[in-house]
Amino acid sequence: MLICASQLPGEHLAIARQKVRKKVKNTIVTNRSFARLARNAPSLVCGQTVFCPLANAKKQTVNNSQEELTHMKVNQWTMGLAAAGVISFGAVAQAEEKPSHQVLTAVSSTALSGFVSTSVGWEPGRAAVTKRYSYGKAGDQFNLDVVDIKLSSALAEGEWASGYNVELWLGPDAAGYGNQIAAAGSGIAIKNANVSLNIPVGNGIQAKFGIFDTCVGYETANSIDNPNITRSRGYTIEPTSHTGLVLSDKASDALSMMAGVANSYDAVLNAGARGGKSQQTYLASASLTAPDSLGFLKGAVLTAGVVDGFVSTTAATVPDQTLIYVGATIPTGIDKLTLGASWDHLNIDKSSADIDALAAYVSIKTCEKSTVNVRVEYDVAGTGVGNAAEFLATTATLDYKLWANVVSRLEYRWDHDLNARKGAATTGTPAVASRNNGHSLIAQIAYKF
């Protein structure tokens, strides 16, 4: 209970006043003592809504100066770009009116990545000038393979999220990709250039408009993502990319699907089939992933896909092509051993030149830094007794990680003509079949960024 001083009797009031005077006297400090306390006393600092030590106020002043210096440098850089004609002064004025964090937010959503791949090859005997697989290099020389540059922004959160993906190839491999800029055979190709949109239906359907990778294949165009340096025969007969629309949906943890429509079967930019007379290419694929309940098989993936259409040409007689693909990655229950298999069938309408390519993959992780990948292939082209061409190929690759962000691999490849028609290696000018066996030793050094 609180009692006012006026309610105390006079005698008790006098005693209370003496106690208060004594307490105040004991708390009085000298000017020197107050000066020592004032250094650490809380003060109200400009720009802050609470009391804080003066030391913090000094730091705040330094930070403000640093921000002003950074802002001044940005302004100088921006004005330099405007003076050079790269951007307009109107854009500079608009940028000055907006808070800088809006620009930083837009830039931070874009990721830059890619790789630089180089290699050196050696072929015993006379080097083959053409290979039976994509992006083959002449033997006995150093090579720049490709420079891959990728700018992308992943889908943000939200029902109506959007993003984009741009991936360019620079270098000799770009000439073999199929969608070069300008003249055919140039060293610049647009591997991917698409806008991604999320459609809030079910678990969310992702739509891609533009240039996108094909939906079939065990291997990819980027060699650093494959178990081996050289490509398989199956990859060689598959399309690489398409220009059109593709929809993908993850129906569940076990099932994902993809379907789309494109201008043509091949990767040529903005070119329709048969003169663009409504002859589109259609593609679809589905992947099943084994659940944890399957024991050691959990994580196994089975994929099947099909691409059907015409290549980009104005000729009305060009045949329809259908590529059927089935592939799987199979865990074995042994942590360091993984198996894989693929089958590609290329059907060319009204032709006996169909191709079947089968491949088996074995991956063994020998230690923390090294992995051995082996691929065995069989392919047959054509039909009829005595008309089919059969080949066998074995590729062994040692992947050893020595440097951070660097892919360092050594590979041996053997190609064999089972029909003894000397089709395993082609040499000379003009190129002619010359050997039943082709041997290649290749080293690859690639840096990922």
* Adjacent-strand bridge partners of 262: 244, 281
pLDDT in tens, 180-202: 886 655 689 999 999 999 999 98
In this prediction, residue 410 carries a pLDDT of 98
- Top-confidence residue, 63 or 279: 279
Total domains in the chain come to 1
Q: In the 8-state DSSP scheme, what is residue 29?
A: -
Tokens of 217: 């294949």
> Residue 105 above 50 pLDDT?
no
Are 359 and 389 in contact by the 8 Å Cβ rule? The answer is: no
Total residue length of the chain: 449
Tell me how far apart the 2 most distant CA atoms of the chain are, in Å.
132
> Residue 434 above 50 pLDDT?
yes
- What is the arithmetic mean of pLDDT over 352-364? 94
CATH number of 193's domain: 2.40.160.10
Tell if the pTM clears 0.95, that is, is over it.
no
d(CA 287, CA 170): 32
Q: Does 15 map to a domain?
A: no
Q: Beta strands of 366-405 (E only): which ranges?
A: 370-381, 389-400
Share of the chain above pLDDT 90, in %: 52
Q: Does 130 map to a domain?
A: yes
Tokens of 42: 């809380």
Q: Does 93 map to a domain?
A: no
Q: Does 401 map to a domain?
A: yes
Tokens of 54: 């003066």
Residues spanned by the domain of 441: 109-448
Tokens of 381: 């082209």
Q: Does 318 map to a domain?
A: yes
DSSP string, 104-153: HHHHHT-EEEEEEEEEEEE-SSSPPSB-SSTT---SSEEEEEEEEEEEEE
d(CA 426, CA 439): 12
> Residue 412 above 90 pLDDT?
yes
Q: Does 85 map to a domain?
A: no
Q: Which range, of 43-57, 68-82, 378-392, averages the lowest pLDDT?
A: 43-57
Are 77 and 87 in contact by the 8 Å Cβ rule? The answer is: no
> Residue 165 above 90 pLDDT?
yes
For all residues of the chain together, what is the average pLDDT? Answer: 79
- What is the arithmetic mean of pLDDT over 85-106? 42
In this prediction, residue 202 carries a pLDDT of 87
Model confidence band, residue 158 (pLDDT cutoffs 50, 70, 90): confident
Q: Does 18 map to a domain?
A: no
d(CA 167, CA 151): 6
Q: Does 210 map to a domain?
A: yes
